[in-house]
Structure 1
Amino acid sequence: MKKILLTGGDGFFCTRFAKKYNTSYKILSTDVPELDITDETKVMEVFKAFNPDYVIHAAAIASTDFCNNNPEVAYSVNVTGALNVAKACKEVSAKMVFISTEQVFNGTLESGPYTEDDTPNPDTMYGKNKLEAEKLLKEILDEIWILRFTWLFGLPERNCGMSPNILWNTISIALEGQRTKVTCNEYRGLTYVHELIDHFSKVFNIPYGTYHVGSHNNLSRYDVSCLILKESGLEERVDELIERDTEKYRDHQRDVRLCTDKIRRYGIEFSDTKDAIKKCIEEFKLKI
């Protein structure tokens, strides 16, 4: 049985990944208590002890505000930590999957969707960290997949990590009953986390390189929130719960959509965001 080591193991993606594949692979899921990725010596010790075939490096500080306000801490985790993991992968001959982000394009003036050949231009510290790590990791490892994720969404599950996402944020607005502004000037891919995880083992069989991963989407963030409420049976409460925010990103529309045609050519395909939201709501029996 092949062995997979996860970093960021307590997070939104990795907890669900471990549950899905715990009988298909021998999985060591690590987070800060088990493995501080900024400690190069400890990283090497853990990797040598487990001797993984694959490493999925998902550990990161992803909060945009925190990274902007604490650049040195962010760099130590998002860049130096990633390099420590890559060096350990090289030492034990493990293949690495590096989870990157659509945010490498969030300062790009041209509209998306962006391909892997488009030039990234991040304007946040998190996006800059990820882009720098991508470059440096490729200097250490040949056997590496760099996956730039779109924004994942899903619902709370027992014994699984949770993070803010478009679906749960919108449902929370309905639960709290407080009218909230939602921007109509932001466009991004929004991917159902379980659809991504169901495909994930296929990644190990595609050529090494950089891939954009997730759903295509042509709806604004406001339109997606409206869709979620309607599909949840709350269509009559849309105007009560959300308000169109025309000011945020007014001067420059935020568009970080990714073109995922490259990875689709290898049989890793995703529903568009509209269908993926409907699928998630149906699977969790969320409709009122």
Structure 2
Amino acid sequence: MTLPAPTPGRTALVTGASSGIGAEIARELAARGHHVTLVARTTAKLESLAEELSATGGSAAVLTTDLSDRAARAGLAARVEALGLVPDVLVNNAGLSTLGPVSSSDPEAEMNLVEVDVTSVVDLCSRFLPGMVERDRGAVLNVASTAAFQPLPGQAAYGAAKAFVLSYTQSLAGELRGSRVTATALCPGPVHTGFGERAGFAKEDAEAALPAVMWIDAAEVARVAVEAMDRGRLVAIPGKVNRLAASLAQITPRSLLLPVLAKNHPGLK
């Protein structure tokens, strides 16, 4: 087992913890005895989750943070330290997507996506990994997507961001070899979390575009994610069908794959 032991004074910091996969990962870690530090923009949702975890024997701290704000991110490590906590686990789960062709995109929205999905991951890894390496214990989970394995017309920036996260995490793992610090990329397929609706397309459109067999429950994604961290796995893809689809996407010629992807994406209808 490679996850650091849950002991008093240690914490697992989970971003995007107010809902969806992030909230479920926090629940899974708390169920294993880890103190969790919940990070997102919505205080009420974080406090509700913290109360839930406490009611079931867990413990949690809430640090409301807008991860698109560089100054706010820069102060996060000091805020964790001020709580008397040592971050032994970092889960970079926060993320968002835009929808539609780049030719009609909003530049501000596109840059905000890059700030949260890419820059935040790099920033927090750069701030929290040095302590883990110095202590020679720790685990990082960066949440990518099966979109990391293929182009994604209709969500070009999102697909590219997740490809970055996958490559970045694999590079981290190479750098961390020989230490007791691990890096894992979680690459889920479609999950019912409200993510798509926030991006701008209807749940019905998403379900029509992707077969029902590909959809995985958020709690199952979290279980796979934490198990992958515990085993020190490099990449975790929940669901056999999603693993197969990711493999096929990597070997299919782009000249064949792109027309199919563009035709079926709800953002290009």
TM-score range, shorter chain: 0.5 to 0.7
Aligned position for 2:260: 252
2:161 paired residue among 113, 116, 129:
129
2:226 aligned counterpart, secondary structure: helix
1:88 aligned counterpart, secondary structure: helix
Aligned position for 2:38: 29
Distance across 1 between alignment mates of 2:207 and 2:237: 26
Q: How much has 1:125 moved relative to structure 2?
A: 0.5
Aligned position for 1:53: 88
- Decide which structure has the larger Cα Rg and report it: 1
Q: Which runs of 5+ in 1 are unaligned?
A: 109-120, 155-161, 171-179, 218-248, 257-288
Aligned position for 1:232: none
2:23 paired residue among 15, 21, 26:
15
Higher relative contact order, chain-length normalized (CA < 8 Å, sep 6+): 2
Aligned position for 2:12: 4
Distance 1:182 1:200, change over 3 A: closer
Q: Which runs of 5+ in 2 are unaligned?
A: 1-6, 43-63, 133-137, 177-181, 243-256, 265-269
Q: How much has 1:43 moved relative to structure 2?
A: 2.9
Matching residue's letter, 2:164:
E
State the aligned residue count: 195
1:54 aligned counterpart, secondary structure: strand
Identity of aligned residues (%): 10
**TM-score under structure 1 normalisation?**
0.55
1:105 paired residue among 139, 145, 149:
149
Contact 2:96 2:195 in 1 (8 A): no
Matching residue's letter, 2:127:
A
Matches within 5 A, 1:205-244: 205-216=230-241
2:147 aligned counterpart, secondary structure: helix
2:91 aligned counterpart, secondary structure: strand
Distance 1:181 1:51, change over 3 A: closer
Distance across 1 between alignment mates of 2:25 and 2:191: 13
Q: Which has the higher helix share?
A: 2
Matching residue's letter, 2:222:
I
Over the aligned positions, Cα root-mean-square deviation in angstroms equals 3.8
2:241 aligned counterpart, secondary structure: coil
2:151 aligned counterpart, secondary structure: coil
Distance across 2 between alignment mates of 1:66 and 1:86: 31
When structure 1 is superposed on structure 2, of 60-69 and 98-107 the one drifting more is 60-69
**TM-score under structure 2 normalisation?**
0.58
Contact 1:190 1:215 in 2 (8 A): no
Distance 1:253 1:79, change over 3 A: closer
Give a deviation string over 1:230-257, Cα, whole Å, max 9, x none: xxxxxxxxxxxxxxxxxxx99525799x
1:22 aligned counterpart, secondary structure: helix
Aligned position for 2:4: none
2:217 paired residue among 176, 192, 197:
192
Q: How much has 1:71 moved relative to structure 2?
A: 2.1
Give a deviation string over 1:99-124, Cα, whole Å, max 9, x none: 0011123438xxxxxxxxxxxx9961
Matching residue's letter, 2:190:
W
**1:201 equivalent in alignment to 2:226:** yes
1:216 aligned counterpart, secondary structure: helix
1:89 paired residue among 109, 113, 128:
128
Distance 1:134 1:199, change over 3 A: closer
